[in-house]
């Protein structure tokens, strides 16, 4: 499965959140400029189409516009871990280290 750097970053943030759900703007703020407001929701929609994240509208009557909250799925977690392992193995091979 093809996964972009931005998708990997989003999955990483959702894994770090543990059982908490995050909304898009929260991820943008936490990314220190790596994610942008103009692309976060497009990328989250693509991740949801792939089955890597799930979302639902927040049930908060205080909000004028309900936010959409996101959490990682089992498939998203497995994909992130596989990509991370592949990157680590690649970086090790560049440094002359062998598994």
The tens digit of pLDDT for each residue in 10-53 reads: 999 999 999 899 999 999 999 999 999 999 999 999 999 999 99
Query: Do 26 and 20 touch, CB atoms closer than 8 A?
Result: no
Residue 70 lies in a domain: yes
* Greater model confidence, 76 or 86: 76
Domain region containing 72: 5-94
State percent of the chain over pLDDT 70. 94
The number of distinct structural domains making up the chain is 1
| CATH for 29 | 1.10.10.10
Global pTM reads: 0.85
């Amino acid at each position: 499965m093809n996964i972009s750097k931005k998708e990997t970053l989003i999955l990483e943030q959702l894994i770090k959140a543990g059982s908490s759900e995050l909304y898009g703007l929260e991820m943008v703020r936490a990314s220190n400029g790596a994610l942008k407001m103009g692309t976060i929701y497009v990328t989250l929609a693509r991740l949801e189409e792939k089955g890597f994240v799930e979302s639902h509208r927040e049930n908060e009557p205080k909000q004028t516009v309900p936010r959409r909250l996101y959490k990682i799925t089992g498939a998203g977690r497995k994909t992130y871990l596989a990509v991370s392992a592949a990157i680590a193995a690649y970086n090790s091979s560049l440094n002359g280290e062998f598994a």
